[in-house]
Amino acid sequence: MHTFKLNKLCSLGLLALSSSVFTHSAFATATQEGTVNNGNGTFTYTQKINATSTLPHYNQSIASPATGGFGFYSGYNQDFGWQHSFGDIITNPLIQIQSATLMIRAYDVDSESFHGTNGEYDGIAVDGVDLNPGLLQGTNNTWSETSFDLPIFSISDDGLINTFMDADMYNISGTMNWVTQLDYSLLTITYLETTNNPPLKPELSMSPSSCDATTASDLVASITGPTPADPDGDSVSYLYRWFVDIGQGSVVDDEVAGKTDHQGNTVLSTQTIDGETWRVQVTAVDSNGLVSDPEFSTWISIDTDCDGDGVDDVYDDYPADPERAFNNYNPSATLVFEDLWPEKGDYDYNDFVMQNVFNTITHASGAVKEVAIAGNAVARGAGYANAFAISFLTDTSNIESSSLTLDGNLSTLTPEAGHTGEAVIVLIDNISSVLPSGTYSFYNTQNGDDRPLVPIEFNVVFETPVPVLTLGDAPFNPFIYRVANRGLEIHMSDRAPTDLADLTLLGTSDDASDPNTNSYYQTANGHPWALYVPSIWTHPYEYIDVLLAYPQMQVWAESGGSTNPGWFAYPDTTHCWKC
């Protein structure tokens, strides 16, 4: 085991790799390669790359003990790459592959399971895709050989197999300094020259599902298709290779982790332990020996962290969803608006009333993935036709989806055009159509008017979770605007108008907004036009000033909220709807 400090010098990367297909005559002579006729109609091609290989396969000229590379110890800041090639698959359309493996011989690979996540883990990727097993496998101060099954598509697309080693890949802090030495990389391809087609990639079902797996469960991979399994009608069988992560952060062959070498479609429950991740690779093989690309099924963190987001299932509100981890409910609240801004008007605070519960759904990192609202549209005391919207501090392009269920009717919402640096979603484009007039001129604002509340559910999902400090807290920035005058927006105190607001209205009539101090939508005495009341609130009757219905509100507003914080719980019941 080597843990000496490495200098952070330039890593030895994939250099001078061409996208063209090389013929045998173009290969550098230092690369060992050859094709053997097996005498049974099959051929085996091998290509070995090591320290003696030259471009385009490998550039040893810049390798050194300081930079790493074949023949030198390489650590976390000394990742390097090389290129295998099999040009015949491009020039000879009759080639069909029976097997393809990449075997890497390395020394002092300290990937023993007892290290947990603190061991030496060297990842291998081909054409930018991590292979299975995910790591070089070996032990302290020994030579080891790790065999990887290559997907056929990684060879057949262009004949080039660009390979990369991410040395000591979990050493983010640079404090562990594990190193390993690669001797060579050996590509082996066995193939036929035939017009017969390979079988199709298998389709799998897993039992139990990943999130239902426990240590009492046998893990079973079942073939569900396709039908037919082979385009030529050949009979097909299946090869199974099982991998397990027992705490190393990536899967290794099950026998390397001290388990049974499973070769069927089942791992018995006696072989599994809480927290392990199991993966099966299934490859179809037809009666000619031709193989499909592999398919995988994965049981993640059995009994511990089903979705692999880093939050144990016992704490995860969404154990099967890696994008969501925690519900964050606000207490039941009421949004209320007065719509005569910039004038105070009758100040009865019932022009739109909506009861709501906000749920801010966060990713394991704490950033917001989704916002959901459940509530009721309660009352409309407005003579004007108004719309209801919410502005979120994220780009419109970051809205993955949004929907509204209003009185049982589901609709898909799209962000309003014309905004930069914010996403504005209109939930109700005309409140009067949702809460219509009838026997009464308004809706649930007059004595005797007691019509049903209209249920409303809304959600918005962000493509990239938004940090809480950026997005802010519920209720974010809700507002109403005049249907006949889009620029006339009415927000809560100190919530900024949107890009479509008519800013010339700020600071006029009774409004004392001052954009220079980020003060918006309040009078000179601090009286707002919109409130987020932290309870299920009963609003004033039509034409009743809110200060009569809730006598403690005036002192609360004029003190900046420091006095009478519970004003909303003390109504004058003679002035409130259903008090």
User: What stretches in the chain show pLDDT beneath 70?
Assistant: 1-30, 172-175
Q: What is the fold of 203-299? A: Immunoglobulin-like (2.60.40)
Decide: residue 79, CB within 10 A, 0-12 exposed, 13-18 middle, 19+ buried.
Answer: buried
The predicted-structure confidence for 260-292, as pLDDT tens digits, reads as follows: 999 999 999 999 998 899 999 999 999 999 999
Instruction: Pick left, alpha or beta for residue 320 (phi over 0 → left; psi -120 to 50 → alpha; otherwise beta).
Output: alpha
152: Cβ contacts below 8 Å, ≥ 6 apart: 97, 100, 198, 291, 292, 293
Give CA–CA dist 119/177, Å, rounded: 10
Half-sphere exposure of 196 (CA within 13 A, CB side): 21
Under 8 Å between Cβ of 413 and 390 = no
Decide: residue 408, CB within 10 A, 0-12 exposed, 13-18 middle, 19+ buried.
Answer: exposed
| CATH 2.60.120 corresponds to the domain 24-193 | yes
* 0.75 surpassed by pTM: no
Under 8 Å between Cβ of 82 and 161 = no
Q: What is the pLDDT of residue 1?
A: 36
Of 213, 212, 267, 259, the C-alpha closest to 240 is 267
Q: What is the pLDDT of residue 173?
A: 63
Q: What is the pLDDT of residue 18?
A: 28
Of 387, 408, 389, the C-alpha closest to 453 is 408
Residue 37 CB coordination number (10 Å):
9
**CA angle in degrees (0–180, nearest 5) for 57-59-63:** 140
